[in-house]
Amino acid sequence: MRLFRLLYIIYIALRFGLDEFILAQDKFNPWQTLINGVFFWRNKSQPRALRLRLALETLGPIFVKFGQMLSTRRDLIPLDLADELAKLQDQVPPFAFAEVDKIILATYQMPLNQVFASFDETAVASASVAQVHFAELLDGTPVAVKVLRPGIANVIGHDIALLDTAAWLLQALSAEVRRLKPREVVAEFAEHTHSELDLTLEAANCTKLAANFPDKKLLVPEVHWDWCRQQVMVMQRMHGTPISKMALLREQGIDIAKLAHDGVEIFFTQVFRDGFFHADMHPGNILVANSGPDKGKYIALDFGIMGTLSDNDKYYLARNFLAFFNRDYRDVALAHIESGWVPQDTNVDALETAVRAICEPIFNKPLKDISFGRTLLSLFQMSRKFGVVIQPQLVMLQKTLLNIEGLGRDLDPNIDLWQSAKPFLKRWMSEQIGWRSIAKKLRKELPYMAKTLPEMPRLLHAYLRQQSLVEQDQSLHATLTKLIATQQQQALWQKRVCISIALLASLEILIFLSTFWPLTH
């Protein structure tokens, strides 16, 4: 099955003429000529960007998501490709309404008109895994209904299996690739992707993210749990302008510079304060409220892929960021060693120098003047030299950073990412290791302390009594040990005395017998 899927991928790539992306160099001319001769019937008159988008749509959701990520990296790919791939964010061809009707019937065991007062048959958004329709509940509440694509679980399962096979092959053939832990990376990606196939999990993610922002700094739709099932999710209908429509946002009076800075703060809040972040932040999943008291605030959509970080991950990430901001490259090197991201025997001085050479050129520059493509290449070369171990749990964070960077570049090319994030990270680190951390932990433990405080005298008495018994046991044990030692010593002397008496008795007997049998007899 995997072999057939691989062959199909190669066929689709050749059918849409994607070989020109790989074989454009002169040294590949013979291969290009051969392929053009075999596939003489294909039509390559369409622009290359359109053919790439169509090929990714044909190959399915995994490849659509890859295209979504690429569309945010205008600094890495040509603009024609970025513009066309941006259509993958919410313009994937929808599946037929007849299929939606079947899914609704199978999910609720009742026809659609007994669940919703009205239901728009035209999808308002269609993505790689599901599509969204506007509707009204029977009580008139306007909602958005998300429905999984039929048969999507099998398609994703096959593609993940193919990726795992490719990762296994690369890992077996190359020690360099093995260091990057490709199978673990695929497993991490698979875990997050499979979570998208159960919309009750997405509803739970949505609820948790909303609870993390009670101040409404980030707007998250309310979930209508009574109508949420594995294949269908019903949530509050949100009104806003897509973040990608910059001209319209300006016409609506939205402060674009403030929007850019708010986005940085929201991202770092999710990562470092909560350790729970939206890991699919492409422009198709972000709206901006354009009216009312929440005008100018971000609206988050699509919560199928969420990232989590442990306290240890958060600490070392924040330490690395702050060290970068302060140009303390030695602390960056030490943080990498202490966290286990590089071997313990790594030369700290050499690692510090390598990090300095990579990061120093990008400071005090706006995003538009920074070549992150070159920086990433340099970091990869450094990681290969120093044996940096890829952390699979950070893969989603790395992907989100790419999306945030692309979004920030579109909103405000002059934004200084470092200066926007530095005050937030300083405050966060103070809360983790300063007096704020002590106060926070005391507040957290206060309910437990209040509960156990009345019991403290009894607990203290029990503890002292136990200690007294232990001391008595220790004293008794010491006494017994001493008695046993004394008894053993006495037994030893008794044994020696008995042996001595026996020897003396034997000697006397010999002397007595010698008087009757003289030796000269």
What tokens were used for 385?
């030299």
Helices (H) and strands (E) in the chain, counts: 21, 11
- For residues 401 and 381, give the distance between their C-alpha atoms in angstroms, rounded to a whole number: 20
Backbone angles phi, psi at 235, to 5 degrees: -140, 170
Residue 100: other Cβ atoms inside 10 A: 21
Q: H-helix or E-strand containing 183? A: helix 182-195
By C-alpha distance, which of 229, 230, 223 is closest to 207? 223
Q: Is 401:407 a contact under the CB 8 Å cutoff?
A: no
- For residues 368 and 73, give the distance between their C-alpha atoms in angstroms, rounded to a whole number: 12
Backbone angles phi, psi at 254, to 5 degrees: -80, 135
Determine the length of the chain.
Answer: 521
Per the residue annotation, which of 280, 313, 331, 412 is the catalytic one? 280
SS3 132: strand
- For residues 256 and 411, give the distance between their C-alpha atoms in angstroms, rounded to a whole number: 6
Residue 171: other Cβ atoms inside 10 A: 17
Q: Is 400:407 a contact under the CB 8 Å cutoff?
A: no
Is 410 an active-site residue?
no
Q: Is 16:41 a contact under the CB 8 Å cutoff?
A: no
- For residues 170 and 176, give the distance between their C-alpha atoms in angstroms, rounded to a whole number: 9
The conformation of residue 272, written as its DSSP 8-state character, comes to I
- For residues 503 and 212, give the distance between their C-alpha atoms in angstroms, rounded to a whole number: 93
By C-alpha distance, which of 150, 167, 171 is closest to 107? 150
- For residues 110 and 229, give the distance between their C-alpha atoms in angstroms, rounded to a whole number: 14
Cα-to-chain-centroid distance, residue 292: 34
Q: Is 104:112 a contact under the CB 8 Å cutoff?
A: yes
Residues belonging to the active site:
280
